[in-house]
Amino acid sequence: MTREREKLQYTSLEDKHHNRAVEPVKGEQNTAYWDVKALLNEQGEGETINVHVQETSLDSRAKKESAAREAALADLQAAAACLRQGKTVAFPTETVYGLGADARSTEAVEAVFAAKGRPSDNPLIVHIAHRDQLHELVTEVNAAAEALMAAFWPGPLTLVLPVRPGAVSPRVTAGLDTVAVRMPDHPVALPLIAAAACPVAAPSANRSGRPSPTLAAHVREDLDGRIGGIVDGGPTGVGVESTVVQAGDDGTVTILRPGGITAEQLSAVAARVATDPALLAEGSGGDSASPAPRSPGMKYTHYAPAGALCVVEGPPAAVAAWTRAALAEAAQRGERTAVLAFAEHAEQYRADAVFSLGNASELQEAARRLYAALRSCDEQGATYIVAEACSREGLGAAVMNRLLKAAGNQLIQVD
Ligand code: TXA
Ligand code: MG
d(CA 336, CA 199): 45
Give the pLDDT mean for 9-18: 32
Residue of the CA atom closest to atom 31 of ligand 1: 295
d(CA 37, CA 72): 7
**CB–CB of 291/275 below 8 Å?**
no
Give the side-chain half-sphere CA count within 13 A for 344: 14
Q: Residue 294 CA: which ligand 1 atom is closest?
A: 31
Which of these, 198, 228, 271, 197, lies nearest to 88 by C-alpha position?
Answer: 228
Q: Model confidence at 234, in pLDDT bands (50, 70, 90)?
A: very high
Whether residue 316 is predicted with pLDDT greater than 90 in this model: the reply is yes
Q: What is the DSSP letter of 138?
A: B
Looking at the DSSP bridge assignments, the partners of residue 387 are: 311, 340
Looking at the DSSP bridge assignments, the partners of residue 340 are: 355, 387
| Residue 58: per-residue pLDDT | 78
| Residue 19: per-residue pLDDT | 40
Beta-carbon neighbour count of residue 237 at 10 Å? 18
| Residue 290: per-residue pLDDT | 62
Q: Would the CB of 122 count as within 6 Å of ligand 1?
A: yes
Angle between helical axes of 396-406 and 363-379 (0-180°, round to 10): 20
Q: Would the CB of 356 count as within 6 Å of ligand 1?
A: no
Tens digit of each residue's pLDDT (9 = 90 or more) over 128-148: 999 999 999 999 999 999 999
Q: Residue 127 CA: which ligand 1 atom is closest?
A: 7
d(CA 9, CA 332): 50
| Residue 291: per-residue pLDDT | 72
Whether residue 337 is predicted with pLDDT greater than 50 in this model: the reply is yes
d(CA 321, CA 316): 9
Tens digit of each residue's pLDDT (9 = 90 or more) over 285-306: 444 456 777 877 776 667 889 9
Residue 136 CA to chain centroid, in angstroms?
A: 25
User: Which strand (E) or helix (H) includes residue 411?
Assistant: strand 411-413
d(CA 357, CA 371): 10
Ligand located closest to 367 CA:
1
Q: Would the CB of 243 count as within 6 Å of ligand 1?
A: no
Q: Would the CB of 178 count as within 6 Å of ligand 1?
A: yes
Whether residue 25 is predicted with pLDDT greater than 70 in this model: the reply is no
**CB–CB of 111/226 below 8 Å?**
no
Give the three-class secondary structure for 215. Answer: coil
β 89-91/229-232 pair status: parallel
d(CA 272, CA 386): 36
d(CA 162, CA 179): 6
Best mutation site among 161, 222, 244, 302 for ligand 1 pocket (most ligand atoms within 8 Å of CB)? 244
Q: Would the CB of 179 count as within 6 Å of ligand 1?
A: yes
Cβ-defined contacts of 81-87 (< 8 Å, 24+): 82/32, 82/228, 82/229, 83/192, 83/196, 83/198, 83/200, 84/196, 84/197, 84/198, 86/111, 87/111, 87/227, 87/228, 87/229
How many A from CA of 123 to the centre of ligand 1? 7
- Per the model's pLDDT, the better-predicted residue between 278 and 372 turns out to be 372
Whether residue 205 is predicted with pLDDT greater than 80 in this model: the reply is yes
Residue of the CA atom closest to atom 32 of ligand 1: 295
**CB–CB of 303/402 below 8 Å?**
yes
| Residue 284: per-residue pLDDT | 55
237: Cβ contacts below 8 Å, ≥ 6 apart: 94, 95, 368
β 272-275/157-162 pair status: unpaired
Q: What percentage of residues in the chain have a pLDDT greater than 90?
A: 80
d(CA 214, CA 240): 8
Q: Would the CB of 242 count as within 6 Å of ligand 1?
A: yes
